[in-house]
Amino acid sequence: MTAPPKPLSLSAERALSGTVSVPGDKSISHRSLMLGAVASGRTTITGLLEGEDVLATAAAMTKMGAVIARGDTAWTVDGVGGALLEPESALDLGNSGTSARLLMGLIAAHPITATLIGDDSLQARPMGRVTAPLGDMGATFASRGGRLPLTITGAAQPMPIEYTLPVASAQVKSAVLLAGLNTPGDTIVHEGEVTRDHSERMLRGFGAEVEVTETDRGRTIRLRGQPHLSGQAIRVPGDISSAAFPIVAGLIVAGSRVTVTGVGLNPTRTGILEALGLLGANVGVSKDGAAGAEPVGDITVEAGPLTAADIPARLAPLMIDEYPILMVAAAFADGDTEMRGLAELRVKESDRLAVMAEGLAACGVPLRLLDDGIVITGSGGRAIPGGARIDSHLDHRIAMSFAVLGLNAAAPVLVDDARPIETSFPGFAALMQSLGVSAHVDDQER
Protein backbone atom coordinates (compact mmCIF):
# COMPACT_ATOMS: atom_id res chain seq x y z
CA MET A 1 0.00 0.00 0.00
CA THR A 2 1.30 3.47 -0.90
CA ALA A 3 1.91 5.68 2.11
CA PRO A 4 -0.45 8.67 2.35
CA PRO A 5 0.89 12.15 1.52
CA LYS A 6 2.27 14.29 4.34
CA PRO A 7 1.21 17.91 3.78
CA LEU A 8 3.53 20.51 5.29
CA SER A 9 3.48 24.24 5.89
CA LEU A 10 5.93 26.36 7.85
CA SER A 11 5.30 29.67 9.58
CA ALA A 12 7.44 32.16 11.49
CA GLU A 13 5.90 34.10 14.35
CA ARG A 14 9.27 35.63 15.26
CA ALA A 15 12.76 36.10 13.88
CA LEU A 16 14.77 32.96 13.16
CA SER A 17 17.86 32.44 15.27
CA GLY A 18 20.34 29.67 15.88
CA THR A 19 23.21 27.53 14.68
CA VAL A 20 22.51 24.33 12.79
CA SER A 21 24.27 21.70 10.74
CA VAL A 22 22.76 20.09 7.67
CA PRO A 23 23.01 16.49 6.44
CA GLY A 24 26.03 15.33 4.47
CA ASP A 25 26.58 16.30 0.87
CA LYS A 26 24.53 14.07 -1.39
CA SER A 27 26.92 14.15 -4.35
CA ILE A 28 29.90 13.22 -2.21
CA SER A 29 27.93 10.54 -0.34
CA HIS A 30 26.97 8.77 -3.57
CA ARG A 31 30.54 8.85 -4.87
CA SER A 32 32.11 7.68 -1.62
CA LEU A 33 29.91 4.56 -1.64
CA MET A 34 30.56 3.80 -5.30
CA LEU A 35 34.31 4.27 -5.22
CA GLY A 36 34.59 2.49 -1.89
CA ALA A 37 32.68 -0.42 -3.43
CA VAL A 38 35.06 -0.87 -6.37
CA ALA A 39 38.24 -0.21 -4.37
CA SER A 40 40.36 -2.76 -2.55
CA GLY A 41 40.13 -2.84 1.22
CA ARG A 42 37.88 -0.92 3.57
CA THR A 43 36.50 2.59 3.18
CA THR A 44 35.18 4.36 6.28
CA ILE A 45 32.67 7.17 5.78
CA THR A 46 31.59 9.64 8.44
CA GLY A 47 28.83 12.15 7.82
CA LEU A 48 27.20 10.09 5.08
CA LEU A 49 23.82 11.45 4.04
CA GLU A 50 21.31 8.82 5.17
CA GLY A 51 18.61 9.94 2.77
CA GLU A 52 16.65 7.63 0.50
CA ASP A 53 18.69 8.48 -2.61
CA VAL A 54 22.03 7.59 -1.01
CA LEU A 55 20.62 4.46 0.61
CA ALA A 56 19.49 3.35 -2.86
CA THR A 57 23.11 3.61 -4.01
CA ALA A 58 24.26 1.59 -0.98
CA ALA A 59 21.72 -1.14 -1.73
CA ALA A 60 22.78 -1.27 -5.40
CA MET A 61 26.48 -1.59 -4.56
CA THR A 62 25.66 -4.35 -2.09
CA LYS A 63 23.88 -6.28 -4.83
CA MET A 64 27.06 -6.00 -6.92
CA GLY A 65 29.34 -7.49 -4.30
CA ALA A 66 30.35 -4.78 -1.84
CA VAL A 67 29.81 -5.29 1.89
CA ILE A 68 28.33 -2.11 3.34
CA ALA A 69 27.45 -1.62 7.00
CA ARG A 70 26.26 1.22 9.20
CA GLY A 71 28.15 1.49 12.47
CA ASP A 72 27.61 3.68 15.52
CA THR A 73 29.72 6.55 14.19
CA ALA A 74 30.51 5.69 10.58
CA TRP A 75 29.66 3.56 7.58
CA THR A 76 32.08 0.96 6.30
CA VAL A 77 32.43 -0.29 2.74
CA ASP A 78 34.48 -3.40 1.96
CA GLY A 79 35.15 -3.17 -1.74
CA VAL A 80 35.26 -5.77 -4.48
CA GLY A 81 38.71 -4.75 -5.71
CA GLY A 82 37.56 -3.63 -9.15
CA ALA A 83 35.39 -6.55 -10.27
CA LEU A 84 31.68 -5.85 -9.85
CA LEU A 85 29.40 -8.87 -9.61
CA GLU A 86 26.29 -9.24 -11.72
CA PRO A 87 23.25 -8.43 -9.58
CA GLU A 88 20.67 -11.18 -9.23
CA SER A 89 17.74 -8.75 -9.32
CA ALA A 90 16.95 -5.27 -10.58
CA LEU A 91 18.61 -2.26 -8.98
CA ASP A 92 15.80 -0.11 -7.58
CA LEU A 93 17.09 3.46 -7.44
CA GLY A 94 13.90 5.10 -6.21
CA ASN A 95 14.01 8.80 -7.07
CA SER A 96 17.77 9.11 -7.50
CA GLY A 97 18.95 10.35 -10.87
CA THR A 98 22.51 10.57 -9.56
CA SER A 99 22.46 6.87 -8.64
CA ALA A 100 21.13 5.90 -12.06
CA ARG A 101 23.53 7.91 -14.17
CA LEU A 102 26.68 7.23 -12.17
CA LEU A 103 25.94 3.52 -11.79
CA MET A 104 25.49 3.27 -15.53
CA GLY A 105 29.05 4.52 -15.84
CA LEU A 106 30.44 2.01 -13.36
CA ILE A 107 28.59 -0.91 -14.93
CA ALA A 108 29.41 0.09 -18.52
CA ALA A 109 32.99 -1.16 -18.31
CA HIS A 110 32.23 -4.46 -16.53
CA PRO A 111 31.11 -7.59 -18.41
CA ILE A 112 27.86 -7.85 -16.47
CA THR A 113 24.19 -7.13 -17.13
CA ALA A 114 22.02 -5.10 -14.79
CA THR A 115 18.52 -3.64 -14.94
CA LEU A 116 17.88 -0.24 -13.39
CA ILE A 117 14.41 0.69 -12.19
CA GLY A 118 13.00 3.62 -10.22
CA ASP A 119 9.89 5.47 -9.17
CA ASP A 120 7.57 7.28 -11.58
CA SER A 121 9.57 10.49 -11.36
CA LEU A 122 12.90 8.82 -12.14
CA GLN A 123 11.39 6.78 -14.96
CA ALA A 124 10.36 10.04 -16.63
CA ARG A 125 13.90 11.42 -16.69
CA PRO A 126 15.96 11.11 -19.91
CA MET A 127 19.08 8.94 -19.85
CA GLY A 128 20.17 9.34 -23.48
CA ARG A 129 22.86 11.88 -22.69
CA VAL A 130 24.58 9.18 -20.58
CA THR A 131 23.96 6.14 -22.77
CA ALA A 132 25.44 7.90 -25.83
CA PRO A 133 29.07 8.18 -24.62
CA LEU A 134 28.89 4.89 -22.69
CA GLY A 135 27.71 3.21 -25.89
CA ASP A 136 30.82 4.54 -27.61
CA MET A 137 32.85 2.78 -24.91
CA GLY A 138 31.19 -0.54 -25.76
CA ALA A 139 28.21 -0.83 -23.41
CA THR A 140 24.79 -1.75 -24.80
CA PHE A 141 21.39 -0.65 -23.55
CA ALA A 142 17.79 -1.81 -23.80
CA SER A 143 15.03 0.58 -22.76
CA ARG A 144 11.85 2.25 -23.87
CA GLY A 145 12.65 5.68 -25.21
CA GLY A 146 15.95 6.03 -23.39
CA ARG A 147 14.35 5.99 -19.94
CA LEU A 148 14.12 3.58 -17.02
CA PRO A 149 13.46 0.68 -16.74
CA LEU A 150 16.77 0.22 -18.53
CA THR A 151 19.00 -2.82 -18.94
CA ILE A 152 22.71 -2.25 -19.42
CA THR A 153 25.25 -4.83 -20.54
CA GLY A 154 28.78 -3.71 -19.86
CA ALA A 155 31.57 -4.08 -22.38
CA ALA A 156 33.82 -7.12 -22.13
CA GLN A 157 36.55 -5.05 -23.77
CA PRO A 158 35.71 -1.41 -23.05
CA MET A 159 37.32 1.27 -25.18
CA PRO A 160 38.56 4.65 -23.91
CA ILE A 161 37.02 7.70 -25.54
CA GLU A 162 37.64 11.41 -25.86
CA TYR A 163 34.30 13.07 -25.25
CA THR A 164 33.08 16.66 -25.32
CA LEU A 165 30.05 17.29 -23.13
CA PRO A 166 27.22 18.70 -25.25
CA VAL A 167 25.67 20.24 -22.12
CA ALA A 168 27.16 21.13 -18.76
CA SER A 169 26.51 18.03 -16.66
CA ALA A 170 28.58 16.71 -13.78
CA GLN A 171 26.58 13.48 -13.89
CA VAL A 172 27.46 12.75 -17.53
CA LYS A 173 31.09 13.69 -16.93
CA SER A 174 31.25 11.45 -13.88
CA ALA A 175 29.58 8.53 -15.66
CA VAL A 176 32.24 8.62 -18.39
CA LEU A 177 35.08 8.90 -15.88
CA LEU A 178 33.71 6.01 -13.80
CA ALA A 179 33.52 3.87 -16.92
CA GLY A 180 37.11 4.86 -17.61
CA LEU A 181 38.24 3.25 -14.36
CA ASN A 182 37.94 -0.24 -15.84
CA THR A 183 39.05 0.77 -19.33
CA PRO A 184 42.63 0.57 -20.64
CA GLY A 185 44.25 3.77 -21.82
CA ASP A 186 43.20 7.35 -21.16
CA THR A 187 39.60 8.49 -20.97
CA ILE A 188 39.29 12.20 -21.74
CA VAL A 189 36.35 14.52 -21.10
CA HIS A 190 36.12 18.12 -22.30
CA GLU A 191 33.64 20.47 -20.65
CA GLY A 192 32.92 23.94 -22.01
CA GLU A 193 31.52 25.11 -18.67
CA VAL A 194 33.01 24.05 -15.37
CA THR A 195 30.75 21.65 -13.44
CA ARG A 196 31.06 20.28 -9.90
CA ASP A 197 34.32 18.38 -9.56
CA HIS A 198 33.68 15.99 -6.66
CA SER A 199 34.43 12.99 -8.88
CA GLU A 200 37.86 14.25 -9.90
CA ARG A 201 38.81 15.10 -6.33
CA MET A 202 37.62 11.79 -4.91
CA LEU A 203 39.11 9.68 -7.69
CA ARG A 204 42.52 11.16 -6.86
CA GLY A 205 41.95 10.42 -3.18
CA PHE A 206 41.34 6.74 -3.93
CA GLY A 207 44.52 6.54 -6.01
CA ALA A 208 43.48 7.25 -9.59
CA GLU A 209 45.65 9.40 -11.84
CA VAL A 210 43.50 12.35 -12.90
CA GLU A 211 44.86 15.33 -14.77
CA VAL A 212 42.77 18.50 -15.08
CA THR A 213 43.75 21.22 -17.55
CA GLU A 214 42.09 24.64 -17.55
CA THR A 215 41.80 26.48 -20.88
CA ASP A 216 39.98 29.58 -22.09
CA ARG A 217 37.41 27.18 -23.58
CA GLY A 218 36.69 25.27 -20.38
CA ARG A 219 38.31 22.29 -18.75
CA THR A 220 39.80 18.97 -19.88
CA ILE A 221 39.87 15.95 -17.56
CA ARG A 222 42.14 13.01 -18.37
CA LEU A 223 41.83 9.75 -16.41
CA ARG A 224 44.47 7.01 -16.68
CA GLY A 225 42.57 3.75 -16.89
CA GLN A 226 42.72 0.67 -14.68
CA PRO A 227 44.25 2.26 -11.57
CA HIS A 228 44.55 0.44 -8.26
CA LEU A 229 42.02 2.03 -5.96
CA SER A 230 42.51 1.66 -2.21
CA GLY A 231 39.93 2.16 0.53
CA GLN A 232 39.96 5.56 2.21
CA ALA A 233 38.70 7.37 5.30
CA ILE A 234 36.17 9.95 4.10
CA ARG A 235 34.45 12.75 5.99
CA VAL A 236 31.43 14.06 4.12
CA PRO A 237 30.86 17.81 4.61
CA GLY A 238 27.41 19.36 4.98
CA ASP A 239 25.53 19.77 1.72
CA ILE A 240 25.45 23.37 0.50
CA SER A 241 22.32 22.52 -1.49
CA SER A 242 20.59 21.66 1.79
CA ALA A 243 22.16 24.60 3.63
CA ALA A 244 20.55 26.93 1.08
CA PHE A 245 17.10 26.38 2.64
CA PRO A 246 17.80 27.63 6.19
CA ILE A 247 20.07 30.30 4.67
CA VAL A 248 17.29 31.78 2.53
CA ALA A 249 14.83 31.38 5.43
CA GLY A 250 17.17 33.52 7.52
CA LEU A 251 17.30 36.17 4.79
CA ILE A 252 13.55 36.61 4.27
CA VAL A 253 12.24 36.68 7.87
CA ALA A 254 12.88 40.09 9.40
CA GLY A 255 15.38 40.23 12.24
CA SER A 256 16.75 36.74 11.64
CA ARG A 257 20.32 35.57 12.09
CA VAL A 258 21.18 31.97 11.13
CA THR A 259 24.48 30.08 11.03
CA VAL A 260 25.02 26.77 9.22
CA THR A 261 28.21 24.98 10.24
CA GLY A 262 30.46 22.47 8.52
CA VAL A 263 29.23 23.19 4.98
CA GLY A 264 31.16 22.03 1.91
CA LEU A 265 32.58 25.07 0.11
CA ASN A 266 33.85 23.46 -3.07
CA PRO A 267 34.18 26.39 -5.52
CA THR A 268 32.25 24.44 -8.17
CA ARG A 269 29.24 24.40 -5.79
CA THR A 270 29.14 27.89 -4.29
CA GLY A 271 27.28 29.68 -7.07
CA ILE A 272 24.32 30.12 -4.71
CA LEU A 273 26.44 32.29 -2.41
CA GLU A 274 27.52 34.49 -5.32
CA ALA A 275 23.94 34.76 -6.56
CA LEU A 276 22.66 35.77 -3.12
CA GLY A 277 25.47 38.31 -2.97
CA LEU A 278 24.20 39.82 -6.22
CA LEU A 279 20.83 40.24 -4.52
CA GLY A 280 22.55 42.16 -1.74
CA ALA A 281 22.16 39.43 0.87
CA ASN A 282 24.14 39.73 4.09
CA VAL A 283 26.12 36.48 3.87
CA GLY A 284 29.32 35.75 5.78
CA VAL A 285 31.55 32.75 5.07
CA SER A 286 34.22 31.46 7.42
CA LYS A 287 36.43 28.71 6.02
CA ASP A 288 37.67 26.44 8.77
CA GLY A 289 39.48 23.59 7.09
CA ALA A 290 38.80 20.69 4.80
CA ALA A 291 37.11 17.32 4.66
CA GLY A 292 39.63 15.40 2.60
CA ALA A 293 39.93 17.26 -0.70
CA GLU A 294 36.81 19.35 -0.01
CA PRO A 295 37.00 22.81 1.64
CA VAL A 296 34.61 23.27 4.57
CA GLY A 297 33.35 26.22 6.57
CA ASP A 298 30.47 28.03 8.27
CA ILE A 299 27.91 30.31 6.63
CA THR A 300 26.12 33.05 8.59
CA VAL A 301 23.28 35.16 7.21
CA GLU A 302 21.31 38.10 8.57
CA ALA A 303 17.98 39.29 7.24
CA GLY A 304 17.96 42.59 5.41
CA PRO A 305 16.79 44.29 2.23
CA LEU A 306 17.30 42.33 -0.99
CA THR A 307 17.68 44.08 -4.33
CA ALA A 308 16.78 42.55 -7.68
CA ALA A 309 19.62 41.56 -9.99
CA ASP A 310 20.36 39.77 -13.24
CA ILE A 311 21.74 36.34 -12.34
CA PRO A 312 24.27 35.41 -15.05
CA ALA A 313 23.80 32.15 -16.93
CA ARG A 314 27.42 31.22 -16.16
CA LEU A 315 26.35 30.40 -12.61
CA ALA A 316 23.91 27.69 -13.70
CA PRO A 317 26.40 24.77 -13.68
CA LEU A 318 27.61 25.88 -10.24
CA MET A 319 24.17 25.98 -8.60
CA ILE A 320 21.62 24.23 -10.79
CA ASP A 321 19.98 22.52 -7.80
CA GLU A 322 19.70 25.78 -5.86
CA TYR A 323 17.66 27.78 -8.37
CA PRO A 324 14.28 26.89 -6.81
CA ILE A 325 15.29 28.34 -3.44
CA LEU A 326 17.03 31.28 -5.15
CA MET A 327 13.69 32.05 -6.80
CA VAL A 328 12.19 32.19 -3.32
CA ALA A 329 14.78 34.77 -2.30
CA ALA A 330 14.06 36.76 -5.48
CA ALA A 331 10.36 36.82 -4.57
CA PHE A 332 11.28 39.13 -1.66
CA ALA A 333 13.80 41.36 -3.47
CA ASP A 334 13.00 44.89 -4.60
CA GLY A 335 12.45 44.88 -8.37
CA ASP A 336 12.76 42.38 -11.22
CA THR A 337 15.28 39.53 -10.93
CA GLU A 338 16.10 37.76 -14.19
CA MET A 339 17.60 34.26 -14.28
CA ARG A 340 18.68 32.63 -17.54
CA GLY A 341 20.47 29.47 -18.64
CA LEU A 342 18.03 27.24 -16.79
CA ALA A 343 17.06 24.73 -19.49
CA GLU A 344 18.58 21.96 -17.36
CA LEU A 345 15.91 22.59 -14.71
CA ARG A 346 13.34 21.12 -17.08
CA VAL A 347 14.85 17.61 -16.81
CA LYS A 348 15.28 17.32 -13.05
CA GLU A 349 13.00 15.38 -10.69
CA SER A 350 10.29 17.56 -12.19
CA ASP A 351 10.26 20.41 -14.71
CA ARG A 352 11.48 22.66 -11.94
CA LEU A 353 11.29 25.80 -14.03
CA ALA A 354 7.61 25.31 -14.90
CA VAL A 355 6.66 24.00 -11.45
CA MET A 356 8.31 26.91 -9.63
CA ALA A 357 6.64 29.41 -11.96
CA GLU A 358 3.25 27.79 -11.39
CA GLY A 359 3.64 27.73 -7.61
CA LEU A 360 5.02 31.26 -7.31
CA ALA A 361 2.16 32.62 -9.40
CA ALA A 362 -0.36 30.74 -7.25
CA CYS A 363 1.17 32.46 -4.19
CA GLY A 364 0.73 35.89 -5.76
CA VAL A 365 4.31 36.48 -6.93
CA PRO A 366 4.39 38.35 -10.28
CA LEU A 367 6.65 36.67 -12.83
CA ARG A 368 7.35 36.06 -16.48
CA LEU A 369 8.45 32.62 -17.66
CA LEU A 370 11.12 32.47 -20.36
CA ASP A 371 12.21 29.54 -22.52
CA ASP A 372 15.40 29.12 -20.48
CA GLY A 373 14.69 31.22 -17.45
CA ILE A 374 12.37 33.41 -15.45
CA VAL A 375 11.84 37.03 -14.41
CA ILE A 376 10.50 37.45 -10.86
CA THR A 377 9.10 40.71 -9.50
CA GLY A 378 9.87 40.77 -5.80
CA SER A 379 7.85 42.22 -2.95
CA GLY A 380 10.63 44.39 -1.54
CA GLY A 381 10.60 42.36 1.68
CA ARG A 382 6.85 42.56 2.31
CA ALA A 383 4.85 39.41 2.88
CA ILE A 384 3.58 37.79 -0.31
CA PRO A 385 -0.12 36.82 -0.49
CA GLY A 386 0.47 33.06 -0.21
CA GLY A 387 -2.60 30.96 0.48
CA ALA A 388 -1.86 28.29 -2.12
CA ARG A 389 -1.66 24.51 -2.00
CA ILE A 390 1.48 23.52 -3.89
CA ASP A 391 1.82 20.37 -5.97
CA SER A 392 5.43 19.36 -5.30
CA HIS A 393 5.43 16.81 -8.15
CA LEU A 394 7.30 14.45 -5.78
CA ASP A 395 10.30 16.80 -5.99
CA HIS A 396 12.18 17.33 -2.72
CA ARG A 397 13.64 20.72 -3.65
CA ILE A 398 10.29 22.06 -4.82
CA ALA A 399 8.71 20.95 -1.53
CA MET A 400 11.37 22.60 0.64
CA SER A 401 11.45 25.78 -1.44
CA PHE A 402 7.73 26.45 -1.06
CA ALA A 403 7.81 25.51 2.61
CA VAL A 404 10.42 28.27 3.08
CA LEU A 405 8.40 30.70 0.93
CA GLY A 406 5.53 30.36 3.38
CA LEU A 407 7.63 31.85 6.19
CA ASN A 408 6.88 35.34 4.86
CA ALA A 409 3.38 34.92 3.47
CA ALA A 410 0.13 36.56 4.53
CA ALA A 411 -1.71 33.23 4.26
CA PRO A 412 -0.22 29.73 4.75
CA VAL A 413 1.55 28.02 1.87
CA LEU A 414 0.77 24.31 2.03
CA VAL A 415 3.05 21.80 0.32
CA ASP A 416 0.98 18.79 -0.73
CA ASP A 417 3.51 16.13 0.26
CA ALA A 418 6.70 16.39 2.31
CA ARG A 419 7.68 12.74 1.93
CA PRO A 420 10.12 13.38 -0.98
CA ILE A 421 12.18 15.60 1.32
CA GLU A 422 13.55 12.42 2.91
CA THR A 423 15.50 11.72 -0.28
CA SER A 424 17.98 14.49 0.47
CA PHE A 425 17.22 16.23 3.78
CA PRO A 426 16.06 13.91 6.58
CA GLY A 427 14.94 16.01 9.53
CA PHE A 428 14.26 19.16 7.50
CA ALA A 429 11.16 20.20 9.45
CA ALA A 430 12.84 19.52 12.82
CA LEU A 431 15.89 21.59 11.83
CA MET A 432 13.67 24.50 10.81
CA GLN A 433 11.76 24.23 14.10
CA SER A 434 15.07 24.50 15.98
CA LEU A 435 15.47 27.96 14.42
CA GLY A 436 12.08 29.07 15.73
CA VAL A 437 9.85 28.01 12.85
CA SER A 438 6.44 26.42 13.47
CA ALA A 439 5.70 23.34 11.36
CA HIS A 440 2.12 22.33 10.54
CA VAL A 441 0.93 19.06 9.04
CA ASP A 442 -1.77 20.99 7.19
CA ASP A 443 -3.18 24.51 7.21
CA GLN A 444 -5.13 23.97 10.42
CA GLU A 445 -3.32 21.44 12.63
CA ARG A 446 0.09 21.56 14.25
**Was 348 annotated as part of a binding site?**
yes
Residue pair 40/231 in contact (Cβ under 8 Å)? The answer is yes
Total domains in the fold of the chain = 2
**CA 43 to CA 40: how far, in whole Å?**
9
Query: Are 120 and 228 in the same domain?
Result: yes
Strands 140-144 and 414-415: unpaired
Domain residue limits at 174: 26-235
What lies within 8 Å, CB to CB, of 12 at 6+ separation is: 249, 253, 407, 408, 436, 437, 438
Q: Mark whether 321 is an active-site residue.
A: yes
Peptide bond before 426: cis, by omega within 30 degrees of 0?
no
Which of 219, 235, 251 terminates a domain? The answer is: 235
The per-residue pLDDT for range 366-382, each reduced to its tens digit, is 999 998 899 999 999 99
- The predicted structure's pLDDT at residue 168: 87
Instruction: Select from 254, 188, 197, 195 the least CA-distant residue to 223.
Output: 188
* Catalytic position from the list 78, 197, 321, 395: 321
> Does 444 appear as a known binding residue?
no
31 is in an annotated binding site: yes
For range 330-357, the mean pLDDT? 90
Known binding residue 397? Answer is yes
CA distance 171 to 31: 11
Instruction: Calculate mean pLDDT across residues 342-356.
Output: 84
Does the structure show a pLDDT above 50 at 283?
Answer: yes
**263/230 same-domain check:** no
Residues 71 and 181 reside in one and the same domain: yes
Is 360 part of any domain? yes
Q: What is the reported pLDDT for 442?
A: 58
Contact of 42 with 76, CB cutoff 8 Å: yes
The Cβ of residue 408 has, within 10 Å, a number of other Cβ atoms equal to: 24
User: At 339, which CATH number?
Assistant: 3.65.10.10
Same domain, 276 and 381: yes
Neighbouring residues of 312: CB distance < 8 A, sequence distance ≥ 6:
340, 341
pLDDT digits (tens, 9 = 90+) for 211-264: 999 988 889 999 999 999 999 999 999 999 999 999 999 999 999 999 999 999
Q: Is 219 found in the same domain as 244?
A: no
- 198 in the same domain as 296: no
Read off φ and ψ for residue 151, nearest 5 degrees. -110, 125
In a domain, 195, yes or no: yes
Whether the per-residue pLDDT at 101 is higher than 60: the answer is yes
- Do 13 and 64 lie in a common domain? no
- What is the C-alpha radius of gyration for the chain, rounded to an integer number of angstroms? 21
- Torsion (CA) 54, 59, 65, 69 in degrees, nearest 10: 80
Residue 271 clears pLDDT 50, i.e. is over it: yes
- 242 marked as part of a ligand binding site: no
